[in-house]
Amino acid sequence: MSAPTTSAARASTRPAAASRRPARRALRPGQVGKGLAVAGLLFFTLFPAYWMLVSALDAKAGASTSFVPADFTLDNFRFVLTDGGFATFLRNSLLVALATVLVSSFLALLASVAVARFRFRLRTQVLLLVLVVQMVPLEALVIPLFVQVRDLGLLGQLSGLIVVYVALALPFGIWMLRGFVAAVPVELEEAAYLDGASWGRMFRSILLPLVAPGLVATSIFSFITAWNEFVFALTLLGGEEQNYTVAIGLRSFFGQHSNDWGSIMAASTIITVPVMVFFILVQRRLAGGLTAGAVKG
Amino acid sequence: MRRQMFGRTKTAVATGALLALGLAACSSGGSDGGDDGGEGGTLDVWIMQGTNPSGEKFFDEVGKAFKEETGATLNVEFVEWGDAHDRFVTSIAGGTTPDVAETGTTWTPEFADAGALAPLDDYVSEAGLDGDLVEGLAEAGTYDGALYGMPWYAGVRSFVYNTEMFDKAGIEPPTTWAEIESAAKALKKEFPDKIAVAVPGDAEFTVYPWVWGAGGEVATLDGDTWTSQLDSPESQAGLEFWTGLAADGYSSAGATTWRETDVLDSFAQGDVGMAVMGSWTPGAIVEANADMEGKFAAVPIPGQDGGIAPSVLGGSHLSMFNTADDKDLAFEFIEMMTTGEFASKWGEQSGYFPGQKSLLEEATSSTDPLVAPFAQQFVEGGASVPVSPNFGAVQAKLTTSTMMQSILSGDQDVATASKAAAEEMTSLLNGGS
Amino acid sequence: MSSTTTVTAPTGSGHQPGSVGGRLARKSVLARWRPWLLLAPALLVLAVLLLWPLIRMGMFSLQDYGLPEIVSGEANWIGLGNYTEALTSEQLRTVVLPNTVLFAIASVVCTVVFGTAVAVLLASLGRVWRVIVSSSIMAAWAMPAVTGTYVWVWIFDADRGVFNHVLQSLGLQDQPVNWFTDRWSFYAIVLLNIVHHGFPFVAVTVLAGLLGVPKELLEAAEIDGAGPWRRFFSVTVPQLRQVFAVVVILSTIWDFKVFAQVYLMPGGAGSNREVLNLGVWSYVESFGQNRYGFGSAIAVLLTVLLLLVTVVYVRTILKEEEL
């Protein structure tokens, strides 16, 4: 854990102590309002996921307005994993997402060090370029990118998808990491040089550990990009069903079973839960990472 | 074979590209599915699926027989109708088309126009099949004087109803539009929570029968110029009747955005009294819900004052793509599918009518209660959508569905919506945009 | 692994100009090129997979580019025809542009305001509740767009969806309503979907910023007699200018390009013309009609629109030296 994270954790204890004390004495209107806000927020954030799960576990999803499964079953999950082919889709997505995360984080880190630590000609232009390419509507790029991937000979393959996702995740990664790198005090680097370290050694033993929380944060974004993306997966994978990722796997499943909501929700649950668990596990690091970025901004 | 080699080259290039980027560790993604089938090679085939019964078992058998006969492995992939057009387009653009594919009759000219299909005339005459092709299907598969789509099967939509619901409501299958309306009324009274008659908004082929049934036309050709007649008084009367059933509350709000697959699902759940459904759906209904067996029947779509309202004769071709290296092998498969044992078996099992005259006669004389009404519709009440290579564009633009949805949702009345649809269709059919 | 070699190569200074000086001249050549070496792999990927396709998109937009052209690779130039058609189209003016722009404005405002409110709420919570609430926010964030869209479609399904069920059992409506056919209710659902998926990023980022605001500043303001609202708007918000700039720019970019959330809804893939936005229109024209040239022209228009918006942002909230 790096320094910014611990300071964030420390900061978080202070308002906690402050807000708990008056609550013991009497419930002030402010407290009630806050409680309602929390309840409403929890409902809004969790209801879709909850409803997804309930429908997935219900053999008669949609037959009545029951907020617990009316007819509990695991058949929907069984069906989706075997006949639905989601075991394969999950594996493909995981492979694509992990590769995208590793490659794009590495490239983004190198690039962000360049723009955050060096002043060179065209630096502003490079940054603007990075900002501008993020604005391109992706579905507009479907045709030219499709032709491009065809020219690279990567159609229908997961590696083709990985290359594209790396490109999609890069601009945002560079943009975010730039802040994290800039937040690392230059003095630390200078101290390393004074100790006789080379630039490469300084990079590995000073810069890398300190921007690690930032890397986690950007990794999450590239992970989402790869896990969620569907237009490119649809066009670039073509008919290679054994290479489908979860997003287009779900769409093709929806096409075949458009009114079998129990199974659709089971498939959605299977796709969503791994990401949710991952997110909840890394959230402390994510928040810590963003704090580090925000110190400098 | 070439496809396989192609695949390997791709992986090599991929690895090269990744290495160049310094990312060698990540080239593991290029797994190339579908091992090649030994000496005989592999034939890649796409088959469509949608509201028809699953064809997996059938094609397992075909694959075995094909292997025995030719030594080649058959690699069948099932493609959803809804996605198929995009899939074809991208694979044509990417040069990754299968060797043979089922193509909807309205698409064959489009793909031929793109230079993706191989002409079949020589093969067909060599096999001595030219005299036996069902004319309408062969015509639809002809582009620029050459045959690109081998007629495989045709289907037709009729009026399917839930016999259990009809019995409980004490009504008989309708034979006129007035009877449809009174049947719907009776069903709604008996089953207030169910859908008396499904009027889907995103299913163009369930709309045209009412246009024709009222004496209207979808579009007419005068010289070289198409004119859509969707806004003629007759057509509007037909649309008024069909959408009026929904306006009177006999359909459901959800049906406004339904496709035919949704109609099928709801019907199979026993939630729908009457619907326009295809000759291929009875098998799929039972497949989706075995309880429905014996609880539904069909009649030809009633005309306004009796008789039969025409319904679209849709169908599929088997087309050979230019990317097929072993074209003889590809045609062997096409021939196997469209003639003899497998053709009639497919017809029986799926509820489609074969594309060969000799087989068709046999099928249309069937007395099966779930085949005969469709056969009657096929023979006496078959019609065609405008025969123009541009009709595919009308379909892709969802002109008719757009019109239906705006009427069903109450945004526009029949007159306004049909006028807009007719203008758009006229323009598209004449090659505009 | 050529890029790795450049990173580990033993070399000297060259980071911040003037911070460490006096190295050997032979090394300074490498030092001068180091930023470019570090940038090279990323720029290569961007050039091959984003920039060149972007240029191609511009080229396609000047052609009548259909399926035959894609197969043969031949050009078919028609000048600005596609643009004239798109810009004079009734569809663009009355439906597509309002759907895109107004929706983007609405969703950026909703996402940022709601996200900020949640961040403030989170900052005021105790540790246990903060973990619970932020975990639930993570759950919303983690829901993939495709899944999320299907879940919302299921919730609002006309015949069997829970929303209509509840309304009916409360007696608020007699007949099920199809919420997907009306332009306003359609986009209200999309908005709900977008805010649900998009606010966690805002909340987490702003929260991180909030925790970074020096306590001394707030305390000083309190001593000066500033109330909580005043403190928030005159101390916290200015401190978070950069954070808000990033959040607003990114939200804008994302919300202008909403695609899957519209495309996957009933009627969203083109059969309901009332709900087309620029992205879906471009896609539908390209793939449905095989008019890739026209689709590309629409895409170029959308890109230009986004570019303008971003330039305005960059000019007003981000000064150039802060880049």
pLDDT digits (tens, 9 = 90+) for C73-91: 788 899 899 999 999 988 8
Question: What is the rounded CA–CA span in Å between residue A295 and residue B414?
Answer: 62
B319 & B200 share domain:
no
Q: How far is CA A72 from CA A53, A57, A59, in A?
A: 11, 6, 6
Question: What is the CB-side half-sphere exposure of residue B29 using CA atoms within 13 A?
Answer: 36
Q: What is the pLDDT of residue C247?
A: 86
Count H helices and E strands in chain C, helices first.
19, 0
Q: Is B408 inside a domain boundary?
A: yes
Residue B433: helix, strand or coil by DSSP?
A: coil
B126 & B197 share domain:
no
Distance of CA C88 to the CA centre of its chain: 28
If pLDDT is split at 50, 70 and 90, which confidence band does C284 have?
A: confident
Q: Which domain holds residue B134?
A: 38-155+314-364
Nearest to B396 among C44, C181, C288 (CB): C288
Nearest to A153 among B10, B33, B262 (CB): B10
Nearest chain C alpha carbon to B407: C181
Nearest chain B alpha carbon to C285: B397
Nearest to C181 among B113, B398, B409 (CB): B409
Write down which chains contact chain C via at least 3 CB pairs under 8 A. Answer: A, B
> Cβ(B198)–Cβ(B266) under 8 Å?
yes
B162 & B275 share domain:
yes
Q: Which residue has the higher pLDDT, C26 or C262?
A: C262
What is chain A's mean pLDDT, rounded?
80
Work out the number of other CB atoms within 10 angstroms of the CB of residue A92. 24
Residues in Cβ contact with A222 at an 8 Å cutoff, skipping those fewer than 6 apart: A97, A100, A101, A104, A105, A165, A166, A169, A172, A173
Contact B79 A242 (CB under 8 A): no
**In CATH, what number is assigned to the domain containing residue B77?**
3.40.190.10
Q: What is the pLDDT of residue A285?
A: 66
Contact B261 A259 (CB under 8 A): yes
Question: What is the rounded CA–CA span in Å between residue B112 and residue B142?
Answer: 9
B307 & B318 share domain:
no
Q: What is the pLDDT of residue A289?
A: 52
> Cβ(A143)–Cβ(C57) under 8 Å?
yes
Contact B96 A95 (CB under 8 A): no
Please give the span between the terminal C-alpha atoms of chain C, in angstroms, as a whole number.
30
Please give the helix or strand (H or E) that residue B299 lies within, else none: strand B296-299
B140 & B288 share domain:
no
Work out how many domains chain B is built from and give that number: 2
Count Cβ neighbours within 10 Å for each residue of C262-275 and write b for 16 or more, e otherwise.
bbbbbbbbbbbbbb
B108 & B118 share domain:
yes
Contact C144 A8 (CB under 8 A): no
Question: What number is the ipTM of this complex?
Answer: 0.81
Token couple for C263: 């495309």
* Contact list, B21 vs chain C (CB under 8 Å): 3, 41, 44-45
Strand B42-49 with B73-80, pairing: parallel
If pLDDT is split at 50, 70 and 90, which confidence band does A3 have?
A: very low
Q: What is the pLDDT of residue C317?
A: 61
Task: Tell me the residues of chain C between 128 and 157 that have a Cβ less than 8 Å away from chain B.
Answer: 157
Q: pLDDT digits over A28-57, tens only? A: 777 888 899 999 999 999 999 999 999 999
Q: Is B2 inside a domain boundary?
A: no
Q: What is the pLDDT of residue A27?
A: 61
Q: Which residue has the higher pLDDT, B386 or C261?
A: C261
B253 & B179 share domain:
yes
Nearest to C38 among A34, A111, A133 (CB): A111
If pLDDT is split at 50, 70 and 90, which confidence band does C225 have?
A: confident
- Burial of residue A16, with CB atoms counted within 10 A of its CB: 0-12 exposed, 13-18 middle, 19 or more buried: middle
Q: Where are the domains positioned within chain A?
A: 23-78, 80-296
Q: What is the pLDDT of residue C3?
A: 33
Contact A260 B262 (CB under 8 A): no
Token couple for A93: 């997505």
Task: Give the gap in angstroms from C-alpha B216 to the nearest C-alpha of chain A.
Answer: 33
Please indicate if any CB of chain A lies within 8 Å of the CB of C141. Answer: yes
Q: Is B10 inside a domain boundary?
A: no
Q: Which of B2, B8, B26, B88 to mutate to test the interface with A (most CBs of A within 10 A)?
A: B26
B289 & B329 share domain:
no
Q: Is B227 inside a domain boundary?
A: yes
Q: Is B295 inside a domain boundary?
A: yes
CATH class in words for C94-322: mainly alpha
Question: What is the rounded CA–CA span in Å between residue C213 and residue C241?
Answer: 11
Q: Which of A80, A86, A131, A139 to mutate to test the interface with C (most CBs of C within 10 A)?
A: A139
Q: Which residue has the tokens 């105790």?
A: C126
* Contact list, A240 vs chain B (CB under 8 Å): 33
Question: What is the rounded CA–CA span in Å between residue C63 and residue C295?
Answer: 11
CATH for A80-296, among 3.40.50.150, 1.10.260.40, 1.10.10.10, 1.10.3720.10?
A: 1.10.3720.10
Question: What is the rounded CA–CA span in Å between residue B334 and residue C3?
Answer: 53
Contact B33 A242 (CB under 8 A): yes
B93 & B192 share domain:
no
Please give the helix or strand (H or E) that residue B316 lies within, else none: strand B311-320
Question: What is the rounded CA–CA span in Å between residue C296 and residue C61?
Answer: 5
Question: What is the rounded CA–CA span in Å between residue C133 and residue A42?
Answer: 7
Q: Which of A278-282, C144-148, C248-252 has the least mean pLDDT?
A: A278-282
* Contact list, A64 vs chain C (CB under 8 Å): 165
B302 & B420 share domain:
yes
Q: pLDDT digits over A161-199, tens only? A: 999 999 989 988 888 888 888 888 888 888 888 888 888
| Positions in chain B whose pLDDT score sits under 50 | 1-38
Q: What is the pLDDT of residue B40?
A: 67
Q: What is the pLDDT of residue A208?
A: 86
Residue C41: helix, strand or coil by DSSP?
A: helix
Over residues C7-22, the mean pLDDT reads 39
* Contact list, C205 vs chain A (CB under 8 Å): 290, 294
